[in-house]
Structure 1
Amino acid sequence: MLFQWKVSKRKNTINEQSGQAQTVPSGEIDNRLDANIETIRRTTGNSTDVVIRRFMLGKEKNIQAAIIFLSGIVDESMIYQFLLESVVQIDFPSSCLPNEALLYVEQKIAAAGKMRRMKQWNHLFLSLMSGETLLFVDGVSEALSIDTKGGEHRAIEEPSTQLAIRGPREGFTESLGTNIAMIRRRIKNPNLWVEAITIGEVTQTNVSLMYIKGIANDEIVEEVRTRLRRIHIDAILESGYIEQLIEDQTFTTFPTIYHTERPDIVAANLLEGRIAILVEGTPFVLVAPAVFIQFFQAVEDYYARFDIATALRLLRVLIFFLSLIAPALYIALTTFHQEMIPTQLVIAIAAQRESVPFPAFVEALMMEVTFEILREAGVRLPRAIGQAVSIVGALVIGQAAVEAGIVSSTMVIIVSITAIASFATPSFAIAISARLIRFLLMFLATLFGLYGIMIGVIFMTLHLCSLRSFGVPYMSPLAPLIPTNIGDTLFRFPIWALKERPRLINETNMIRQGKQQRPMPPNESKKEGDDH
């Protein structure tokens, strides 16, 4: 009976057809000011942050009016100094009727922001909860919604998850308008289109879809738009909700949608034809479609010389495979393939493991789990304490485990190198995928040695080749091979050589730079000009 009561209460609370709570009144507002104020008070439960300010309009002060707003999410200085003061000081004609007064106010308030006339209660409550101020006039069955959004916001700071030695130092904030403005400052083009959509039947979260018209593939844009509109859920509290609801493949550890908190990365992806999804209340912006090699690219790859960027990118790929197979490789070599290890090293490892009572797999599993616990503790604890716990804890536990004969010192070295390698990957999403697959490869190495590792890598490659991100192959431009886009994969060609945008993402506007962009000495450039 208790379960049935909860289910019936749930059905009475949420109207599945309209997507609005049934406690929100439906239909049009009343023309009586007192009735409208009472409706707002009853619907909001007399909440203390709902401010209702009543005053009189007209030269003879014979017209009652009221403004209603939510404290904390509006710019109260704008409301009191510009809006309310301007409305009170308006000199209405003596014969002004209430219906004419609302129109007169709308025309006279030049200092206010965007204004809209509304009749429906659901639209009015959505505006009120979004930070707009409602103006009611007694005798009028309409209200004026005035844009007064404000309140306290986090200042623009350097992003903490994607640090760069060279490049901009500003990152996204939790304010949707601020995030859009930061991208606008980088792409000053009217073809940068922004579409607004509200998702979340209870939270009514503002989501913006951003792309460059003429560069982005219209079919991919329509697919993203369709998937967003298909979402019917109570709450969207972070962009991770949307990421899980619109991705192509759910049962995979690899991310198929890229997320970042750097405006320059979003701008660069928009210029390649991708689509950005911005969500109110989070600094992480989604970028789609995403490909596998994109998660190994750092923002400073394009700000540095191509040879340095190529070397660092190859190092990151090597680091990824090291974090993926290092413990499994140690288990396979020490258990099945001792002949592949130099004789002196085999003797040293055997001497270390003489007092260890566990097989290599159990030894590696204990150390990996211990390091994962320390890593998680370092993230959750306060920053000053977390760093000390993770560093000191690793040193103390590692040394104590070796002295107690539980693990060998070689295993501590292998696990430590693996942990450091996982931190060196630019994207946390791809790094945590390697951390999960690492345990599977360790198990296969215990059963079949190097053959098990090869089987695991082959199946992982097949799985990667089967993935799609909004219809785009996840391993492109490597599989399928696209020679014209190979210059921005494992290698990074010079900027002047990257003439075309990525294919399969954009198939119409491919050229992104003019001819003869390669730098050359003055004499040679003159000869080039004379030849042409």
Structure 2
Amino acid sequence: MDKNNVIHKQISRNIDFLKNFFVQTPDFVIRYLKVANQEQQAALVYLETLTNMDNLYHYLLIPLIYEGIEMDMLYSDCPVGFFQKAKGWNEIQDAILEGKSIVFLENVQFALIFSTQGGPKRAIEESKIETSLKSGHEGFVESKNENIALIRRYIKETNFTIKEICIGTNQQTKVSILYLKGSACEKILQELESRIKKIQGTYILNAGELGELIEDQLYSPFPQFLSTERPDTVALYLYQGRFAILTDQSPSILIAPVCFTDFFKTIDDYSTRLLIANFMRILRYFAFLLAILLPASYISVVSFNYEIIPMQLLLTIGKYRADVPFSPFIEAIIMELSIEMLRESAVRLPSIIGHTIGVVGAIIIGQAAVQAGIVSNMMIIVVASTAIASFIIPNYDMGATIRLIRFPMMILASLFGIIGIVIGIMTIIGHLISLQSLGTPYSQSLFPIQLENRKDFIFRSSLRHLRYLSKKENRNTKQEKKNE
């Protein structure tokens, strides 16, 4: 709508103006009313599918039509923040599309916006991709306001700050940045705001699209934002001075800036005993290396460097591979692609059927492939171990990255043997060192090695020590700001 168009005093002209924009919209409702004891005409407009009809009848229709309450009295009876005045058409259009109701009064050159949003929405339930044994069981939903409310339950701080930015060609998409003022870095905040404001386009449907538009390196396989559906996880990172990025209609929230080791942590690490939590972290890092290197190492050893295998094991591998017509590389590619297709089909099918297909399909395909002589028993063990290791990674995006990286590692191993694996490892390390998240080093938790400042990166220290470090860092941040 044109910002220059002002609201008319005549209701009929305002209604005609709205009809031009809501053409062929059967849920667009117009109701003509008489208020204030039948002395003033009014018009009520709303989208029926997005409106809470109970609020509409309770706070608007019944008081105005049946009780004859004047508008001034209606204001006092409405909940705080339930209505506001609008003087521009853009504001009115946005309000209608959000499920709010608009009241036009005859001979009044402004409209009243009433917060009657409703429509279908999902109840708060546990996240399906970030389950927890000892922490909270609440997950985010598709309402930005409800998600912020869930976070506020964990952060009862007066410096909890929310910045809202409207982006897109028509400024229709609202993005909220959450942080703790005084703990978060102002320079990173300015960089984040600058990137979000530069976004061009008419719409953003979820947080994943937003993350791709503002990340540092588009073609890096590694995720540069941590996506989570848990309010306690968001609260944890906000206390650490990070930023949370929310978009409406998305149950995922982006955390930034992040480093490589953040993707191997879970919220249960802080509610589990210290030794057990650190053991689980070691297991995840080992699974990361296993998922990337095991297929490539098998290809390398069997094809080129078989002299490093113990003789008894070498004879066993040779026995199983005697009837296999393909090279180890082709074997691995066939089985890895089969596993990936099974995994994807299990995700897309209904949960009960998907789990059955995943388990039964893997068993049947593996057994049939061995009996047909397409792959060896040893390759089945390698591929199964690799799949299990990749599923241990707690973050879905990092798990997908690992599954992708092992294919070029297998290619390098098939061409150059162990030297190819070394080349691949050095390439990954070099890429991690050069990668950034919102301008901060992605590998800061790994390089340079400074044990004093690495109390919750690869391993975590005791919670007493972590709380002390947090207070010390806050004091240092405040002192640096005073010096500036």
Pick the TM interval, shorter chain.
over 0.9
Using a 3 Å threshold, how does the CA distance of structure 1 residues 493 and 415 change in structure 2: closer, same or farther? same
How do residues 129-140 of structure 1 correspond to structure 2 at under 5 angstroms? Answer: 129-140=97-108
Rounded to whole Å, the distance in 2 between the matches of 1:503 and 1:200 is 40
Write the letter of the residue equivalent to 1:428: Y
- Within the candidate set 175, 181, 188, 2:149 is matched to 181
Q: Tell me which residue corresponds to 2:32.
A: 54
Rounded to whole Å, the distance in 1 between the matches of 2:474 and 2:465 is 19
Matched, 1:508 2:477: yes
Deviations 1:331-378 (A, max 9, x none): 011111111111111001001111111111111111111111111111
Deviations 1:270-289 (A, max 9, x none): 00000001111111000100
Using a 3 Å threshold, how does the CA distance of structure 1 residues 381 and 62 change in structure 2: closer, same or farther? same
Matched, 1:68 2:61: no
Write the letter of the residue equivalent to 2:316: A
Shift of 1:153: 1.7
Conserved? CA contact 2:59–2:78, under 8 Å: no
Write the letter of the residue equivalent to 1:83: L
- Structure 2, unmatched stretches of 5+, are none
How do residues 29-178 of structure 1 correspond to structure 2 at under 5 angstroms? Answer: 29-59=7-37, 61-88=38-65, 89-90=67-68, 104=72, 107-111=75-79, 113-178=81-146
Deviates further, 494-503 or 192-201: 494-503
Conserved? CA contact 1:172–1:179, under 8 Å: yes
Shift of 1:205: 2.7
Deviates further, 110-119 or 430-439: 110-119
Rounded to whole Å, the distance in 2 between the matches of 1:507 and 1:202 is 42
Using a 3 Å threshold, how does the CA distance of structure 1 residues 112 and 493 change in structure 2: closer, same or farther? closer
SS at match of 2:452: helix
Deviations 1:264-319 (A, max 9, x none): 00000000000001111111000100100000001100111111111100010000
> For the aligned residues, what is the CA RMSD?
2.2
Shift of 1:509: 5.0
TM-score, scaled relative to structure 1: 0.86
Rounded to whole Å, the distance in 1 between the matches of 2:287 and 2:131 is 18
How do residues 247-258 of structure 1 correspond to structure 2 at under 5 angstroms? Answer: 247-258=215-226
Rounded to whole Å, the distance in 2 between the matches of 1:473 and 1:504 is 19
Using a 3 Å threshold, how does the CA distance of structure 1 residues 486 and 348 change in structure 2: closer, same or farther? same
SS at match of 1:500: helix
Conserved? CA contact 2:34–2:64, under 8 Å: no
Q: Tell me which residue corresponds to 2:406.
A: 438
Conserved? CA contact 1:501–1:510, under 8 Å: no
Q: Tell me which residue corresponds to 1:10.
A: none
Using a 3 Å threshold, how does the CA distance of structure 1 residues 510 and 247 change in structure 2: closer, same or farther? farther
Matched, 1:233 2:192: no
TM-score, scaled relative to structure 2: 0.94
SS at match of 1:43: coil
Shift of 1:42: 2.2
Deviates further, 150-159 or 195-204: 195-204
Q: Tell me which residue corresponds to 1:483.
A: 451
SS at match of 1:276: strand
Using a 3 Å threshold, how does the CA distance of structure 1 residues 502 and 318 change in structure 2: closer, same or farther? farther
Rounded to whole Å, the distance in 2 between the matches of 1:467 and 1:115 is 47
Identity of aligned residues (%): 39
How do residues 325-336 of structure 1 correspond to structure 2 at under 5 angstroms? Answer: 325-336=293-304
SS at match of 1:320: helix
- Count of paired positions: 478
Shift of 1:86: 2.6
How do residues 67-466 of structure 1 correspond to structure 2 at under 5 angstroms? Answer: 67-88=44-65, 89-90=67-68, 104=72, 107-111=75-79, 113-201=81-169, 204-466=172-434
Deviations 1:109-155 (A, max 9, x none): 43463322222111110111112211100122210112222233211
Conserved? CA contact 1:159–1:172, under 8 Å: yes
Write the letter of the residue equivalent to 1:380: R
Rounded to whole Å, the distance in 1 between the matches of 2:236 and 2:264 is 15
Conserved? CA contact 1:115–1:147, under 8 Å: yes
Conserved? CA contact 2:169–2:202, under 8 Å: yes
Deviations 1:7-35 (A, max 9, x none): xxxxxxxxxxxxxxx6x685112221011
Which of the two has higher C-alpha Rg?
1
SS at match of 1:209: strand
Q: Which runs of 4+ in 1 moved over 6 A?
A: 502-507
Shift of 1:52: 1.6
